[in-house]
Chains A and B, each alone.
Chain A
Amino acid sequence: MENLLKSTNLVQRAYWLVRLRWVAILMLAIATFAADRFMYIELAKTALFLIAGLLLVYNFILYDLLRYWTWGNKEPSERRIGWVLTFQISADLLILTMILHYAGGIENPFSFFFVFHMILVSILRSKWESYIQATSAVILFGGVVTLEALGVLPHHGLVGFAASDLYCKPIFVFGFLFVFSVTLYLVVYMTTSITEQLRVQQDGYARANALLEEKDQLKNQYVLRLTHDIKGHLAAIQSCLEIVINGMVGPLADKQMDLVDRAHRRTVKCMAFITALLKLTRMKLTGQLEMERFSLKNCVFNALAAVQNGARNKSIEVTHAIETSVDEIPGEAVLIEETLTNLLFNAIKYTPAGGKVSMTVVEEPAYVRVTIVDTGIGIPDEALPHVFEEFYRASNARATERDGTGLGLAFAKEVVERHGGQIQVCNNPEAGTTFSFTLPKNLVTASA
């Protein structure tokens, strides 16, 4: 996981360097043109334009290579992408040296640009590679200006910009190169020490995060085990009580019947809670969902049918409006239907008799949005950020309905997010609450 992130990061950086180079090529062409045309500086134009052309070709090749390696979301190995970065930086140092040679050598203040390469290599590559690149920059640029001073290489002076004999003054060349080298090594030293510290920190966070996830999985397995065992006992208790209540083992006196019935009702509630907890925990423990295209419309109708009786008993009017274009989306139909039923049940449960619940399904560019609006008791403002937390129940919800599990909305959130959607809640200006969630119309590669 960690490696993957790192290598993806490096790929992005490699692309970024390619993009920067397009700008650099443009700048080189413009600078050459402007210096020649407007500043009347004499330049080896042909050589410079040739270099710009070379750079252009080299950048195209790099770009294609990167695209080839990352085709179809492929992850090139960290090593390979590392070599690409090293190659890019080395080649850039060489090309910058060539440009400077054809444009005044030591007279050209663009030699400052070596600093950029030093910063980049210090951030993207290892410490020792950064020092090697600094050394190669010193050797390349130092070598060229020294050879120019000695007359081995021709000097393309920037006539009209700098004094024409500066390049062969030993004291100036020596002084310049000294400061140049010190600057590069210091930049590398400073940048690598900061980056190294950041890297250590980042690794620490990643490890802590992995540990937390591992602990969370352990907790989930533990909860699953526990609830499953409790469910077994509960099932036995419930079965026995049901036989007594059904009179299969003889009649009971009223008071006896009343007490057994109370006990039975509590086991039913406890079972509902255990079942909800098992469902949520199982969801959290399973990996990928089985994504198949299913009819959202059917799910909506099934959910509406499931809550019909409850709504009728409380004389709550449940309306729905589904945009005709909405139909099949990818996901697990069972889970979506359960989520819809959960949300509708909640809306009905927390809406006083005679109220209204409405459900709309609309299509957005990439998503389908389901909205459920009720005219119920609403959610206190301070409770709004917490309603999707496990076991959380708002104070007024507790007062209205003693036996909620506090797990229904946590389940809904888990389901929606697993599908790549989002769920929101807000209070209506008049009364009641609006729950709204989105589901992607097409399969998204979930970044788990």
Chain B
Amino acid sequence: MGQGRILIIDDDPDITEAMSVVLENKGYVIDSAADSSEGMERLQANRPDLIILDVMMRTSQEGFELSRKLKSTAEYKDIPILMLTAVKDKTGLDFKSTAGDDAWLPVEEFLDKPVKPDVLLDKVASLIPKS
């Protein structure tokens, strides 16, 4: 059984709800926020073991910006980030080859929306450090 605290930052409440159901089912504790600033608040209130971050929120770059900000802060740079995108087609970026490139896209993993439940669980399990 998975365990750990996960913060989902996504402005689509239905996606957030769907992921929460899947993850809670496996015993994870879910916290959620609808944008970057709310995300920062939740982060300070309750440090998560993993952040699931949507790229496009109010602006098409919001997720990127937040991830760079987090990775450049000593306090948060160790929290793994799983980035969700529906923008792969739009930006045409080959996320696979750029994920892990710290300067550009400082996240541990990315997934293209819509995410299949088992794929999501696999990624989450691989990112949350075993305690």
Overall SS of chain A's interface: helix
Contact B14 A236 (CB under 8 A): yes
A224 contact set on B, CB distance < 8 A: 90
Q: Is A324 at the interface (CB under 8 A from chain B)? A: no
Q: Is the interface of B mostly helix, strand, loop or mixed?
A: helix
Report the separation of the CA atoms of residues A365 and B21 in the bound assembly, to the nearest whole angstrom. 59
Establish whether residues A228 and B90, one from each chain, have CB atoms under 8 Å apart when the complex forms: yes
Interface residues on B, range: 20 to 34
Q: How many A-B residue pairs have CB under 8 A?
A: 58
* Complex contact B114–A235 (CB within 8 A): yes
**Contact A239–B90 (Cβ < 8 Å):** no
Chain B CB within 8 A of A53 CB: no
Distance (Å) between the CB of B4 and the closest chain A CB? Answer: 18
Q: How far is the CB of A256 from chain B (nearest CB, A)?
A: 17
Q: Which residues of B contact A232 (CB under 8 A)?
A: 12, 86, 113
Contact A282 B90 (CB under 8 A): yes
A228-240 CB mask vs B (1 if < 8 Å, else 0) is 1001101111111
Contact of A248 among B86, B92, B117 (CB under 8 A): B117
In the complex with contacts A243-B21, A248-B22, A235-B117 CB distance below 8 A: no
Which of the candidate stretches A271-279, A354-362, A376-384 sits at the interface with the other chain?
A: A271-279
Q: Is the CB of B114 within 8 A of A239?
A: yes
A146→B45 CA distance, assembly (Å) = 104
> Complex Cα distance A216/B12, Å?
31
Q: Are B92 and A239 in contact (CB under 8 A)?
A: no
CA distance A226 to B28 in the complex (A): 35
Q: For chain A, give the interface size range.
A: 20 to 34
Chain B stretch 1-34: residues in CB contact (< 8 A) with chain A: 12, 14-15, 17-19, 21-22, 25
User: A residues within 8 A CB of B115?
Assistant: 239
- CB-CB under 8 A for A240 and B14, given A249-B21, A271-B114: yes
Interface residues of B in 82-124 (CB under 8 A from A): 86-87, 89-90, 92, 94, 113-118
Instruction: Check B86 against A282 for contact (C-beta < 8 Å).
Output: no
What is the minimal beta-carbon distance from B48 to any residue of chain A, in angstroms?
21
Residues in A with CB closer than 8 Å to B21 are: 243, 248-249
| Smallest CB gap from B120: residue in A | A239
Across the interface, which residues of B come within 8 angstroms of A321, CB to CB? Answer: none
The reply to whether B114 and A246 form a contact with Cβ atoms under 8 Å apart is no
Residue among B17, B86, B94, B117 making CB contact with A246, cutoff 8 Å: B117
Q: Are A242 and B117 in contact (CB under 8 A)?
A: yes
Check B18 against A236 for contact (C-beta < 8 Å).
yes
Closest Cβ of chain A to B79, distance in Å, is: 24
Seed contacts A224-B90, A243-B22; 5 additional CB < 8 Å A-B pairs = A232-B86, A234-B114, A235-B113, A235-B114, A275-B89
Give me the 8 closest cross-chain CB pairs, A-B, nearest first: A235-B114, A239-B18, A278-B89, A236-B14, A235-B113, A238-B114, A248-B25, A240-B18
